[in-house]
Chain A
Amino acid sequence: MTAEPPDASLTAPYSIEFPYNRTVGEKIGTFLGGLRDGELYGVRTASGAVLCPALEFDPATAAPTGELVRLTPSGTVTHWTWVPTRPGDDIEADHFAWALIAIDGTEGALFHAVDTGGDPSRLTAGLRVAPRWRADRVGSIRDIVCFEPVEA
């Protein structure tokens, strides 16, 4: 059909898809419900610490976690990696960072994008950030578009 050499390699478009649906559990479900309401929640462990993101079980003791705690939606970048924007990303800057963000007053770290307007020099461990909320939220981690720096 085409003028390709007779020994050229054939190619074909392929697509593989797994349409998973997962249940989330009571604590994570409330955490996600909080995101839908534009609020950040953590969960208290037996030791009194608050975990964010919320977990059903305390990773230190495997005991069920306790009450949910509404948090101040701000945190500190502890680790980050700079990445180019990929197709499908809706952060408008050309580049952003994936980061581990310690939410104030909690243990653990929330993994999310940080938008510094395409400027990697603004990113440091210790950068203070806050969520940029999506207008129409559904109860998903994507209800937070990304985190962005806040003035100290």
Chain B
Amino acid sequence: MSTPPTPSTPPTPSTPPTPSALPSPVESFTSPHKVDYTFVAGTGRSAFLRGLQERRLLARRCPTCERVYLPAPEFCSRCLAELSEPFELAGTGVVKTFCVVNFPFPGQMIDPPYLVAYIQVDGADTTLMHLVRDVEPADVHIGLRVEPVWCAEEDLDTSMNSIRYYRPVAGGSDA
């Protein structure tokens, strides 16, 4: 299997090179870091993702501490108790925090500026991250009431992309 050793030139004694003998320096090199992997959603989050395909937001409650997870894992991260059967939430929610993305970066899918927010869906104790659109960034604030804008029927998938984005609830008051 091995390749024969390359015949090496006889060792040459170290000679102090004159400056002109030095190799011309390399200035930079690319150092890309890439990881290909398989994301495994787990049975809990898979139920949430399958709900998205039907325009349903499925949450689960911890039987011990009452915490409602959306998206929900299989077990409560605090109590380690198995969470309840999934139940549906209406979908409206509140901006808990947000960030306006102004910077372009490699692989960016959306033209900046755009706004990404943590949204606490009504009835849930956790937040999910999504875009907030149909609003001037300057008009977005913590407490803004928002609702999901779903994909067209044919684009629905077991993916967060089934929600295109969130937008302010028309005439909605702050939470």
A: which residues have CB within 8 A of B?
7-24, 26, 29-30, 32-34, 36-37, 39, 41, 67-74, 92-94, 105, 115-118, 130, 132-133, 139-140, 148-150
Contacts and interface: CB of A to CB of B under 8 A. Distances in A.
Contacts of A24: 25-29
A7 B1 contact: no
Contacts of A118: 1-2
Nearest to A150: B8
Contacts of B39: 11-14
A16 B34 contact: yes
A10 B49 contact: yes
B72 interface: no
Interface in B22-52: 22-43, 45-47, 49-50
Nearest to A72: B11
Interface string B110-143: 0000000000000000000000000000000000
Majority SS of interface residues in chain A? Answer: mixed
A22 B6 contact: no
Contacts of A74: 11
A21 B43 contact: no
Contact of B23 (A10, A37, A73, A116): A37
Contact of B41 (A9, A20, A26, A67): A9
Contacts of A72: 11-14
Contacts of B40: 9-11
B173 interface: no
Given A10-B49, A15-B34, 9 more contacts: A13-B36, A20-B33, A24-B26, A24-B29, A30-B25, A69-B17, A116-B2, A132-B6, A139-B26
Of B2, B8, B33, B39, most buried by chain A (CB within 10 Å of CB) is: B2
A41 B16 CA distance: 11
A10 B46 contact: yes
A86 to B, nearest CB: 13
A69 B14 contact: yes
A148 to B, nearest CB: 5
A7 B46 contact: yes
A32 B26 contact: yes
24 contacts: A9-B43, A12-B39, A13-B38, A17-B107, A21-B30, A22-B31, A24-B27, A24-B29, A29-B25, A33-B25, A39-B23, A41-B22, A41-B23, A67-B16, A69-B17, A72-B13, A73-B8, A93-B2, A115-B2, A133-B6, A140-B26, A140-B29, A150-B5, A150-B8
